[in-house]
Amino acid sequence: MRRLIAILPVAAFVIVLVGFMVGLKRDPAILPSMLIGKPLPAFALPPVKPMAAGLTSAELVGEPRLLNVFASWCGPCREEHPVLLQLKAEGVTIDGLDWKEEADAGAHWLDENGDPYAKSGNDRTGRAGIDMGVSGVPETFVIDRRGVVRYRQVGAITPEVWSQTIAPLMAKLKAES
Amino acid sequence: MTAEVGQFALILAFVLAMVQALATLWGAHRGEPVLMALGRAAATLQAGFVILAFGCLAASYIACDFSVALVAQHSNSQQPLAYRFAATWGSHEGSMLLWVLILGIYGGAVARFGGTLRETLQARVLGVQGLIGVAFLGFLIFTSNPFLRLSPAPAEGTELNPLLQDPGLVSHPPLLYLGYVGFSVAFAFAVAALIEGRVDAAWARWVRPWVLAAWVPLTAGITLGSLWAYYELGWGGWWFWDPVENASLMPWLLGTALLHSALVLERRGALVSWTILLSILTFSLSLVGTFLVRSGILTSVHSFAVDPQRGIYILGIITVTTGAALGLYAWRAPSLRTGALFAPLSREGGITLNNVFLVALAATVFLGTFSPVFIEIMGKDKISVGPPYYARTFAPLAIPLLVLVVFGPMLNWKRDNVAAVVRRVRVPAALALAVLLIGLVTVGWKGVVSAAAVGLAAWLVAGAFAIPGRRWWAGRANLSRSVRTTPPAVLGLSLAHAGLGLLLLGVTGVTAWHSDKVLTMRPGDSTVFAGRTLTLQSISLADGPNYQARQARFDITGRGGPYTLVAERRAYASSQTTEAAIHVSPLGNFYISGGDEADGGIVVRLWDHPLIVWIWIGGFTMALGGLVSLSDRRLRLGVAARAPAPAFAPAPVPAE
C-alpha cells in the first residue's frame, strides 16, 4: 500500500508530462456547433466602450461577418488580436462580444491594443455566450447575410486558420445572393 | 574584453558544477572525505565564477558596450544608470544569468556554512545542487548565451520596454528568483535525504530556515508584482489570474504548506515523506514558474521571446529534475521510517489540514492555468478559463482555510480537547462577531457576505495578536520581561497571520464596495463621485523624453481633499500607455484614468477602490513576519539543537 502511494506522484507527473508533449505538437481540431445553419439566438448587450452603441443580434445581418467572443483576461486572445486588426484593415466586418468581465476591463483592453470591432457588446454575466454554446474564449462565429451561423471557430484565428478555412468561406458567403 | 571574461567565467562555472556534482556524489557514496572536500571547494569556486560572469554583464550594460548584442538590444545611452543596471536581468538571457547567480551563491553558502551537517548529507545536497547548476549553466551557454558580440557594433542601442522602466519592476524579478531558487535548496535536501534513506529532526531544522528564506522574498515579490499591475496597467485590477502570476502563486502555496509541514517534522518527527514530497513539488512548480511562459506552451502578458528550441530544452530540464526526484521518491519513500502518531485534534492535525487545503488550492490554480493545454489535448482548441473559474473554485477553498488559520497556533502538540481550544479563541471570536454585527447593522442583509468577510479579517488579525497576547497575559506579573523574552519566531508567526487578515480586508473592500463612473469632461466641467467633487481644470500637452503626454489636471475636494491629480496618456513611437492618477489613503484609493478624446473633451473613468492598499500592506506584513521569524536564533543553523527551553511556558507554547 505504501509503495503504491509513493508511486502515485511520479505517475501523475508522467501523465502531465505527456500532456505537455502532446500540447507542444498538436494541431487545432475543429469543433462543430449545434448552431450551424441556425440563426443567432437573440441578445441585446450594453456597450463595452463608454459612449458607444451596444450589440444586438438583430443587427448582425446584411453582409457576411464575424462575431468574435473575447475577454481581456484571455491569453490566446492576445495572440489573436493582431490578426483581427489586420482583417479589419482588409475590410472584414467583425463584431465583438466581450465575455464574462466588467465592461471597463474590455474597454481598457480595446484602448490599449486597438479596436478591431465594428460594434461590440459586453456580456458580463456570460448569458449570451452560453446561449450560443460558447465554452471558452476566444471563439468566432461566421454569420451570413441573413444572420445565420455558418461556421464556428473554437480558439484563436491564426493567419493559417484565416487563409485556409475562414477566408474561402467568407468569399463563398459573399457570392451567395 | 569584459564580455569575453564573462563568457569564460561562465564556462568555468559549468565545468566546476560538473566537478561539484561528481565529486560529492561519488565521494559520499564511497565515504571519501577528500572527494567531498573537493566538491565543497568546487561549489565555492563555482559561486565565485558565476558572480564574476554576472558582474561582467552588468559592467557591459553600465559602460554602454553596444558591441554585446544583449546590451544593444535592451539599453541605450539615454537610459538612466539605475535602469541600465537593471536591464542586466531585463531580458531572457540576463534573467537566466541572474537565476544561475542565485543558485551559485546558495550552493556556495551550503558549502561554506553547512559544516555542522552530517558530512555525507552535506555532500549529497551539494551534489544535487551541482546537477541543477549543470543543467542551467548548460541551458545558458548553449541556447541563451548572454555574451554574444555584434560586429560591427551599433553606435546606439534599442530601449528597454518603457513599461519595464519602473522601480517596482526592477526589484520584482530578483525577489521572485530569490524565492524560486531558494526552494532548490529544500529540493536538494529532499533528494539527498532520499538517497541517504534518512530523514530526522536535524534534517528539518536545516531545511526550515532555507524554506523561510525563499518564502520571504517570494511573498514580497508577488505583492510587488500585484502593486505594479495596479498602478501601471491602468484600470485598477490587482490580480489577473494571468499564467505568470499563477506560476508564482503555485510555488507560494506549496512553499507555505512546506513551511508548516517541516515544522511538524522538526518538532514531532511526523509527516516525514509528505514533507519530502512537498519539497520536491515546490521546486518543480518554481521551475514551471520561471520557464513555462518561455516555452510557448502558454501565452501571457509577461512572455519573453518564445523559442521552441528553448521550450524543448526547458521541458527536458523539468522532466529530468522532477521525474528523477519523484522516481527516487517512489523507490525510497516507503522505506523511510513512519512518523510519530498524533490525535486528529492537535497542532499536527491542524497543520495537516492546512496542508490539505493549501495543496488543493495549488491544484486548482494548476488546473486553471493549464486548462488551455489540457482542453487542447482533449480535442478542442486553445482556450483560457478566467476569473469566473477562480471565483468558483479558489474562494470556496480559501475561506475555510482562513477560518482555520487562527486555530492552528492555539492547538497543543500531540493532543488537545475541544473545550480548551474554544476557550483559547474566545477573545478573537468575540471580536470577530462584534465586527460582523457592526457590519450587518451598517450594510444590512444584502451585504451579509461582505460583512462576514470583514468579520473573518477581524478574526484573523485578532487571532494573530492573541498568540503573543496570551503569552504576555500569562506573564503579566512581569510584563516587560515577558515581552522582551518573546521569541522572534512567535512575533513573526503573529505578523504573518495578521498580514493574511489585512490582505483579506483589502480584497473584500475593493471587491464588495468599489464603484466607478465614466463620463466625458471638458475643461471646467465638474462631477460628483463617491463623496468627492471633481473638476477638470485643464488638458495640456507635454513632452517626455521619448513620448508625448496629454495631461489632464483635476482638482478634487471632499473626502480626503482638497488635492490635485494629473492623469496622463502617453504616446510612444509604437504604443500608447495610460498613466492613471491615484490618490492613496488607508480608507480607499481614488483612481482616475483619462481615455479617448470625444466631442471637445476626454472620456474620463473614475474608480473608488475602498481599502485596497491593505492588500499590499497585508502582503508585505506577511513577508516581514517571515523575516522576523528568520531572525530567531533557534532557527539559526546549528544553534537549534542547543537552544534552551523557554524559561516559563504558558500552556500551549506557540513556538514557531
Task: Report the pLDDT value the prediction gives residue B454, as an integer from 0 to 100.
Answer: 94
Q: What is the 3-state secondary structure (H, E, C) of chain A?
A: CHHHHHHHHHHHHHHHHHHHHHHHHCCCCCCCCCCCCCECCCCEECECCCCCCCEEHHHCCCCCEEEEEECCCCHHHHHHHHHHHHHHHCCCCEEEEEECCCHHHHHHHHHHHCCCCCCEEEECCCHHHHHCCCCCECEEEEECCCCEEEEEEECCCCHHHHHHHHHHHHHHHHHCC
A chain contacts of residue B605, beta-carbon cutoff 8 Å: 50, 104
Residue numbers of the domain that contains B95: 1-159
Residues 36-75 of A with CB under 8 A from B: 50-51, 71, 73-75
Q: Is residue B339 domain-shared with residue B434, that is, in the same domain?
A: no
pLDDT (average), residues A83-110: 89
Same-domain pairing of B134 and B174: no
CATH value at residue A35: 3.40.30.10
Within 511-540 of B, beta carbons closer than 8 Å to A belong to 516, 518-520
Q: Is B655 part of a structural domain of the chain? A: no
- The predicted-structure confidence for B584-625, as pLDDT tens digits, reads as follows 999 989 988 887 777 778 888 888 999 999 999 999 999 999
Which domain range does residue A163 map to? 30-175
Q: pTM of the entire structure?
A: 0.82
Same domain, B324 and B188: yes
Long-range interactions of B532-541: CB distance < 8 A, separation 24+: B532/B556, B532/B557, B532/B558, B532/B559, B532/B560, B532/B561, B532/B590, B533/B557, B533/B558, B534/B592, B534/B606, B536/B601, B536/B602, B536/B604, B537/B564, B539/B601, B539/B602
- Any A CB within 8 A of B237 CB: yes
Q: What pLDDT does B229 receive? A: 82
Beta bridge partners of B520: B603
Rounded CA-CA distance A68/A81 in Å is: 10
- pLDDT per position as a tens digit, B10-39: 999 999 999 999 999 999 999 999 999 999
Domain for residue B650, yes or no?
no
Does B449 lie in the same domain as B533? no
Q: Is some CB atom of chain B closer than 8 A to the CB atom of A32? A: no
A50·B297 Cβ contact <8 A = no
Indicate the pLDDT class of residue B639, thresholds 50, 70 and 90.
Answer: very low
Is-contact A10 B325, C-beta < 8 A?
A: no
Identify whether the C-beta of residue B284 lies closer than 8 Å to the C-beta of residue B318: yes
**Residue A51, domain member (yes or no):** yes
Contact of B259 with B146, CB cutoff 8 Å: no
B582 and B626, same domain (yes or no):
no
In 10 A of CB B115, how many CB atoms?
A: 11
Q: What is the CA radius of gyration of chain A?
A: 19
- Percentage of chain A surpassing pLDDT 70? 92
Min Cα distance A38 → chain B (Å) is: 22
Residue B308 confidence (pLDDT): 59
Q: Are residues B500 and B519 in the same domain?
A: no
Distance CA B378, CA B355 (A): 31
Alpha-carbon distance of B403 to B396, in angstroms, equals 12
Are B174 and B204 members of one domain?
yes
SS3 category, B241: coil
CA distance B376 to B378: 5
Q: Which pLDDT tens digit goes with each residue over B112-128?
A: 988 788 899 999 999 99
DSSP lists the bridge partners of residue A65 as A143
Residue count of chain A, please give it: 177
Of the listed ranges A136-140, B58-62, B257-261, B608-612, the least confidently predicted one is A136-140
Closest CA to B456 of B472, B478, B433: B433
Q: Which of A2, A3, A16, A20 has the most B C-beta neighbours within 10 Å, making it the best mutation to test the interface with B?
A: A20
C-alpha cell recorded at residue B79: 537610459
Confidence of residue B642 (pLDDT cuts 50, 70, 90): very low
> Which residue has better confidence, B231 or B11?
B11
Chains A–B, number of C-beta pairs less than 8 Å apart = 144
Q: Assess whether B230 and B193 both reside in one domain.
A: yes
* A14 domain-assigned: no
Q: For residue B351, what pLDDT is reported?
A: 94
DSSP code, position B546? S
Say if A5 falls within a structural domain.
no
Distance CA A98, CA A114 (A): 14
Residue of chain B minimizing CA distance to A156: B382
pLDDT for the residue numbered B303: 43
Contact B594, B602 (CB under 8 A): yes
Note whether residue B347 is domain-resident: yes
pLDDT band at A177 (very low <50, low <70, confident <90, very high): low
The ipTM is 0.75
For residues B288 and B342, state if they share a domain: yes
Cis peptide before A159 (omega within 30 of 0): no
A10 within a domain of the structure (yes/no): no
Kindly state whether residue A133 falls inside one of the protein's structural domains.
yes
Within this chain, do residues B436 and B288 fall inside the same structural domain, yes or no? no
Per-residue pLDDT of B267-281, as tens digits, reads: 888 888 899 999 999
Residue A2 included in any domain: no
**Of B103-117, B147-161, B249-263, B393-407, where does mean pLDDT reach its minimum?**
B147-161
Instruction: Report phi then psi at B532, rounded to 5.
Output: -125, 150
Q: Which residues contact A115 (CB under 8 A, 6 or more apart)?
A: A49
Task: Pick the last residue of a domain from B412, B433, B455.
Answer: B412
B286-345 pLDDT per residue, tens: 988 776 666 555 544 444 444 556 767 877 888 899 999 999 999 998 888 777 778 889
Give which of B241, B275, B276, B384 to mutate to test A binding, by max A Cβ within 10 Å.
B384
Residues B343 and B440 in one domain: no
Assess B315–A contact: CB distance below 8 Å, yes or no. yes
Q: Is residue B315 part of a domain?
A: yes
Determine contact: A13 vs chain B, CB below 8 A.
yes
Contact A73 B596 (CB under 8 A): no
User: Hey, which residues does B527 pair with through a beta bridge?
Assistant: B534
Name the range with the highest mean pLDDT among A34-48, A158-172, B232-246, B289-303. A158-172
State the CB neighbour count (10 A cutoff) for residue B316: 12
Cell of residue A18, nine digits: 505527456
Quote the number of domains for chain B. Answer: 4
Measure the CA angle with vertex B513, ends B508 and B519; round to 5°: 140
**Touching check for A132 and chain B: CB below 8 Å?**
no
Domains in chain A: how many in total?
1
What's the pLDDT at B25?
95
Tell me whether residue B652 is in a domain.
no
B296 to A19, A28, A137, B188, B381: CA distances (angstroms): 14, 15, 18, 28, 15
In a domain, B418, yes or no: no
Q: Do residues B262 and B403 both lie within one domain?
A: yes
B653 lies in some domain: no
CA distance B591 to B310: 41
- What's the CA gap between B595 and B211, in Å, rounded? 45
A124 falls within a domain? yes
Average pLDDT over residues B457-462: 96
Contact: B297, A26; criterion CB under 8 Å: no
- Please state, rounded to an integer, the average pLDDT across all residues of chain B: 86
